[in-house]
Amino acid sequence: MFQVPPPKQFFLETPPWQEFAVGHEGFVDVLRLQFYLGTLDTYCLDCARESVFQSAAEPLREPVGAGAPRALTVDDLLDGKIKAYPPFNARLTTATGPFTLDELEPFVREDRVFQSAFSCTRDAQHMLFFFFRLRKDRIAKVGQSPSLADLHLPESRKYRKLLGDERFREQVKAIGLHAHGVGIGAFVYLRRVFEDLISTAHQDARKAPGWDQGSFGRCRMDEKIFALKERLPGFLVENRGIYSILSRGVHDLSEQDCLDFFEPVRAGIELILDEKLGQLERDEKIASTAKALAKIKGQTTPQRASQSA
């Protein structure tokens, strides 16, 4: 059983229904999640672009002394001296408090549900919601809106023209399945997209003079990446070790292996595609600049000719 992920990862990358043991070691992580007061960088469906979302969580507060009660972070409670009031809407307990961190522990680990909301910093009506359930001292995200796939898909749309319709559909299926916690199924689709990109680089490499076809077909994925190092992003080549997992049969992989390797494989695909996109944009810029230069040349040459005449 894995550790409770840090808040940003739990909100934006962890698929729903994946359970994490809480226990005495994990209850502070649950508090950090529920009272996360920071921001999330993700796609805003309403703005139709990337945005920054601000947590709408009510903070823990210190007992009222003189003046307004100060908001406390979970870290403020770590030394055990400061007591805090949980906000009423956190529904942590019906007792009023204030509580030390140790006193909060049983309430935090009790069977319960809580939600976290975030609003877009461009427009507070654009919101993200996440729902968590604690049950038998384990925590899972049991829902979110928009879905994980909706947050991740827009990033992938820009790759459509490079991937082609069929591979793009597979990429979309992979992201959708992963967003629902389906590890092996998502991995199989993602692997097809990755292998296809390596195969394209290979087709290209074969045409080059001096390419040694040799045993390429029998190589493991990390060896293939190394053999194609001239045609693949440096980061991918340096970290090729992790891609050797793509050479293992699906039957050898557990559901958890597939979930764990999903993000690195997806990042590998995007690194390859980002380089291609960058090349495409450079080519387009060069073409349009050449066109503009030709036009200027066309306008200025006759003038010079008339001046010199």
Interface residue with Zn ion, options 28, 74, 90, 120 (CB under 5 A): 120
Per the DSSP assignment, residues forming a β-bridge with 61 are: 71, 85
Interface residue with Zn ion, options 126, 135, 231, 276 (CB under 5 A): 126
Interface residue with Zn ion, options 122, 160, 231, 276 (CB under 5 A): 122
Check residue 124 for interaction with Zn ion (CB under 5 A): no
Backbone angles phi, psi at 130, to 5 degrees: -130, 140
C-alpha 212 chain-centroid distance: 37
Q: Are 79 and 60 in contact (CB under 8 A)?
A: no
Per-position x/- string for 62-101, each x denoting binding to Zn ion as judged by CB under 5 A, each - no binding: ----------------------------------------
Check residue 44 for interaction with Zn ion (CB under 5 A): yes
| Alpha carbon distance 175, 19 (integer Å) | 20
| Alpha carbon distance 139, 108 (integer Å) | 11
Interface residue with Zn ion, options 3, 6, 9, 47 (CB under 5 A): 47
Check residue 46 for interaction with Zn ion (CB under 5 A): yes
Cβ nearer to Zn ion, comparing 44 with 72: 44
| Alpha carbon distance 253, 296 (integer Å) | 61
| Alpha carbon distance 107, 228 (integer Å) | 55
Per-position x/- string for 266-305, each x denoting binding to Zn ion as judged by CB under 5 A, each - no binding: ----------------------------------------
**DSSP assignment string, 184-252:** HHHHHHHHHHHHHHHHHHHHHHHHSTT---TTGGGS-HHHHHHHTGGGS-HHHHHTGGGGGGGGS-GGG
Cβ nearer to Zn ion, comparing 44 with 272: 44
Kindly indicate which of the ranges 81-89, 118-126, 156-164, 178-186 contains the residues binding Zn ion, using the contact rule CB under 5 A.
Answer: 118-126
Give the interface with Zn ion as residue ranges (CB under 5 A).
44, 46-47, 51, 120, 122, 126
